[in-house]
Amino acid sequence: MRLFEGTPFDRPPKCEECGHLEADCECPPPAKVYKDPASQSARVYLEKRKRGKFVTIVNQLSSDETDLKALLSKLKETCGAGGTLKDEVIEIQGDQLERIRKTLREIGYRVR
């Protein structure tokens, strides 16, 4: 609710780019800015699942600070394996620990 809503002093919010009312604005949303990888650290470890299968886990990266979908794609391409993103945790199939650590260091992340 706006401060003067319903009074003669009411001024609905307008878009800063085009000047239209925010409800009528068709401007694209601003591009999301992510933190520098050098200021973030990732925890990489191996987890054993059912039937002796291994999964490499990349943890402790926030989706607000990192483009996790792009990072997942990069890691899957580097390892030549499948993977998924679940609740801000990247899972790559198989024992890919050293490849993922090397790739994350090349990108600029601190790895634990």
pLDDT tens-digit series, residues 47-85? 999 999 999 999 999 989 999 999 999 999 999 999 999
* Distance of alpha carbon 68 from alpha carbon 90, whole angstroms: 8
- pLDDT confidence of residue 31: 85
Residue 96: helix, strand or coil by DSSP? coil
The amino acid occupying position 48 is K
Closest CA to 84 of 111, 51, 57: 57
Which single residue is written with the structure tokens 């987890």? 47
All structural domains of the chain = 1-30 (no CATH), 37-111 (3.30.780.10)
Residue-level length of the chain: 112
The pLDDT of 87-112, averaged and rounded, is 96
- pLDDT confidence of residue 7: 77
Q: Is it the case that residue 1 has pLDDT exceeding 70?
A: no
- pLDDT confidence of residue 15: 87
> Could you give the residue ranges of the DSSP H alpha helices within 1-112?
68-79, 97-107
- pLDDT confidence of residue 19: 87
Cβ-Cβ contacts under 8 Å for 20 (sequence gap 6 or more) = 14, 26
